[in-house]
Structure 1
């Protein structure tokens, strides 16, 4: 991946990444042609190749960009949410879940699905490099919850054993599956319902 430091080049790169991310979310990686990305970003082919080696390089860059944008947005939303009244690690998990729910709510009306989900479906079976990077994306999502799950597990009843790594992955599975189904079914309340069930399940797994 090419390193870019000049302000104008960074602006051009950001325009390309934003345009590509929108198209990947709407049409998927394979059906998003380079010409469409260039037209949407309003940049020339020369400007593109100054930033990226090829379309594959763009795909990896979009994943990195998306994960950073996602993290920043969720952190910002969390700052807007009411603080938990009790110093319970599980409440930190619930706070992140609430931020995710709010992030999805803000995107209502926007066309396209989850970039990570779309690209996983399209590329995991045919491109090992993308499969590995997408797996890392899911791992990054799970790791957002892991420290708090581990802290809560340490507070639990003696003799109770919980695989917190698998529990963190389970959380991501519920979130991603609910987002996909909500869009397919046209049910904006599906994610809130599933997250409510998820919170109850976590209480049962890790409660006092």
Structure 2
């Protein structure tokens, strides 16, 4: 793999804010894998830390407006996204939908990949719902995902997959696709503004 002079700015978003959540374990593993690549730089956006206001409130307040501006700037600065999501009731978490809905242009003409986790489905039903949402926002979702079925049993006490080869291969494939689309779309946006 050759290094690029201008690495892709990749925002990794932890979509769950529940107490006792498993998302940071999965996200940290993915970031550790992605950080070995010279063609990406990573910005971790943990929705617990953003403290976004409730869903499309008419008055987000001073604190909410500041949180929206800060998160919006980080999303706008990204060339690509990876959403780390669990599956709750056959879909994705409400705080993640809140974060998505507060922003619009930040997602446009950029690729989105998914790392999911859960029980038997491994979060894949959440991913299918998210693909529809991001398509509506003019983002480009990549085909391949990383999925952990029975996630709590898939990681050891150090936060590493107990069977690392398949998950590393899936993460590499996802990152390869994100970089390809990310570089292509970044060039396209610089040459010609995207029309929604």
TM, length-normalised to structure 2: 0.28
Which one has the bigger helix percentage?
1
- Structure having the higher strand fraction is 2
TM-score, structure 1 normalization:
0.27
**Which one has a bigger Cα radius of gyration?**
1
